[in-house]
Every structure is written in C-alpha cells, then in structure tokens.
Amino acid sequence: MSTSAPATAVAGRTDVAARALERTVAAASARHLRVPVRDVRITLTDAAGLLGITVVAPLRLPPLSGAGEVQLMKRGDDARSDIRVDVERLTGRTVGPVSLRLTRAVVLHEKRVK
Amino acid sequence: MSSLYPRILRRENHRSRSLAVSIALSLLILVAAYVGIECGLAAYGLDPLLVTPAAAVGWLRSGEIIVYVAAGLAALVGVVLLLLAILPGRRARHSVPNDRMAVIVDDGVLAGALARDARRVADVAPERVRADVSKRRARVIITPTSGVPVDANAAQATADGLLTELAPRPTVRARVSVAAAGEVGS
C-alpha cells in the first residue's frame, strides 16, 4: 500500500482484493507449516481495524517423531509469529490476532537424498 | 444588485410556498362560493342545491360521530397548512459566497467533495467513504481497510480546510469518523 507521496505517486490506487490476500496468507502459512498450500484454509477477518487471520491446516508430523506437547505448542506459536511477520512484509497490512487450528496430522516424508 | 443576489439566494435555498397557497386558496374560494350560493337560494326561498343552511347547521349540532370525524379531518388539514406556512422550508442546498455571482451548491455536491477529499487523504477505495451534509453538519465516515490505519486527524483537518475554503452558508461543521471495524481487502 502506497501512502500519499504526492510528488512521485501516479494518480489512481492499488487495490488488493480479499481473495488475493487470502492466497498470499495461505502461501506464507503453508511455507511456515511445511504443508501443501491446498491443505491450508485461511479466513481473514477484521479485528478492530487490524487484519485478523485464522489458519486451519494439518499438522505436519516429522518422521521419527519424538515431539512432546510443549514442542508442538512452540511450533504452532513460532509458525503464527512467522506468518505474521511474512504477511506484514508482503502485504503491508498490520496483522492482529493470528489463530492456528491444526485439524489433523499428516506425515510427510522428506525425499531421500540420493 | 447588492440586494438582488441575497434575494435570489434566499429563493433558491427555500421552497416556494406558492403551490400550497394556490391549492388552499382555491379550496377556500370553492367552499365560500358554495356557501354563498346556498345562502342566496335560501334567502329567496328557492330549492337548495344540496342542503339548506338551516339543515346544515342542524346537522353540525346533531353530535353524530361523522361530524366529529369531519371536524378532525379539517383540523388535520389546518395543522398541515399551518406547518407549511411556519416551517422555513429549506432546501438541501447551501450558498457559497462569491463576489460576482450568486452561487448555490446542492448538499449532495458538498458531500461528494468531502468524500473525495477524505478518500484521497485516507487512501481508501471510493465506496469506503460515506458523507452526508445537513444544514449545519457534515458527517464523513471512513471504513478502513483491515490492517491499514487511517489518519482520522488528517482527514478531519482536510474536511475542515475544505469547508473553511468554501465557507458555505449556513456554516457547516464537519465531523470525520473512522469506523471501528474495517473491511478485509481494499
């Protein structure tokens, strides 16, 4: 979003539709959760003027999982904070609350290095 | 000339009462003519057109429900006419001072100018700004884009500046507000 810079700005404005924002957030979320984009559902809401994000995604279980609950929550929190930083950087919107719901778990194997 | 423009401005800023006056006077003339004719016919002992004055007075004193209904309707018409006569009958317009011309601006045009300025300052889509102007107050409501803060003070200053520059009469005071809830996407 370009704010007013009258000297250089071209007349007109750049609009970003909600759909485009959703896809952007979905891409960022998928990247940080390390799951396919098509498994990520994004709901964008207005949170008192801020951009509220709800991410519904599967939990990616690492193979040979030794992850305890604490680590799981930490991963979620890290992902939320990364998503927030990414979305703010990409879209210029100030992000409000980011909620993450992990509705199922998938085991995605890393490709073996040959 | 100096007395002409204020008159023109006043005429343009207020509704004409001529239509209401014409209708009311026409009705009055018809009723008066009819009553006069009936009284004349009765005085010469001729047959009445509809009712004799004596019968009409008797009916009015009979206290039937229909008489009260008719009286109520007459009172209602009277109140409406009274309001039309007393109320200022302002149109949704303001005059803008100008040395050489009598300038009248529709309130919708003022609102449009305020909305356009607010949109430019707030950097939101045109449909996100609503503005309306009444006699002394202008209201501008900006719906922000979620995550993009709107400088309400700057928008207020711009609206104040526009109204100060135009100086519409009667004086209009602007109140710019930013909606608490924004909209996702712009």
Q: What pLDDT does residue A20 have? A: 93
What is d(CA B116, CA B110) in angstroms, rounded to the nearest whole number? 10
Confirm whether A71 is domain-assigned.
yes
Give the residue numbers spanning the domain of A25.
18-107
Strand pairing category for A50-61 and B137-142: unpaired
Per-residue pLDDT of B132-155, as tens digits, reads: 999 999 999 999 999 888 999 999
Strand pairing category for A41-47 and A50-61: antiparallel
Confirm whether A39 is domain-assigned.
yes
Q: What pLDDT does residue A23 have? A: 94
Please return the burial class of A73, using the count of CB atoms within 10 Å of its CB with bins 0-12, 13-18 and 19+.
exposed
Confirm whether A27 is domain-assigned.
yes
Confirm whether A12 is domain-assigned.
no
Max intra-chain CA distance, chain B: 90
DSSP H or E stretch at residue A50 = strand A50-61
What residues of chain B, 114 to 133, have a C-beta less than 8 Å from chain A? 120-121, 123, 125
Contact residues on chain A for B149, CB-CB shorter than 8 A = 49, 94
Per-residue pLDDT of B22-66, as tens digits, reads: 998 999 999 999 999 998 988 888 888 888 888 888 888 887 888
Taking one residue from A and the other from B, the number of pairs with CB-CB distance under 8 angstroms is 65
A4/B146 Cβ within 8 A: no
Contact residues on chain A for B183, CB-CB shorter than 8 A = 46
Confirm whether A4 is domain-assigned.
no
**Global pTM?**
0.70
B181/A48 Cβ within 8 A: yes
Q: What pLDDT does residue A6 have? A: 52
What residues of chain B, 138 to 157, have a C-beta less than 8 Å from chain A? 144-149
pLDDT-based confidence at residue B88 (cuts at 50, 70, 90) = confident
A49/B146 Cβ within 8 A: yes
A92/B148 Cβ within 8 A: yes
Contact residues on chain B for A96, CB-CB shorter than 8 A = 146-147
The mean per-residue pLDDT over the stretch B59-84 comes to 89
How large is the ipTM?
A: 0.70
Q: What pLDDT does residue A1 have? A: 45
Contact residues on chain A for B157, CB-CB shorter than 8 A = none
Residue A34's CATH number:
3.30.70
> Is domain B93-178 in CATH 3.10.129, yes or no?
no
* In chain B, domain spans: 4-86, 93-178
pLDDT-based confidence at residue B129 (cuts at 50, 70, 90) = very high
> Rounded to a whole number, what is the distance in Å from the CA of A12 to chain B's nearest CA?
10
Helices B53-61 and B18-43, axial angle in degrees (round to 10)? 110
Give per-residue burial for B110-144: e unless 16+ CB within 10 Å, then b: bbebbbebbbbbbbbeeebbebbbeeeebbbbbbb
Closest-CA residue of A relative to B154 is: A4
The mean per-residue pLDDT over the stretch B104-128 comes to 92
Contact residues on chain B for A90, CB-CB shorter than 8 A = none
Confirm whether A3 is domain-assigned.
no
Q: How many structural domains is chain A composed of?
A: 1
Nearest to A51 among B178, B181, B184 (CB): B184
Low-confidence ranges of chain A (pLDDT < 50): 1-2, 4-5
List the Cα angle B149/B150/B151 in 5-degree steps.
120
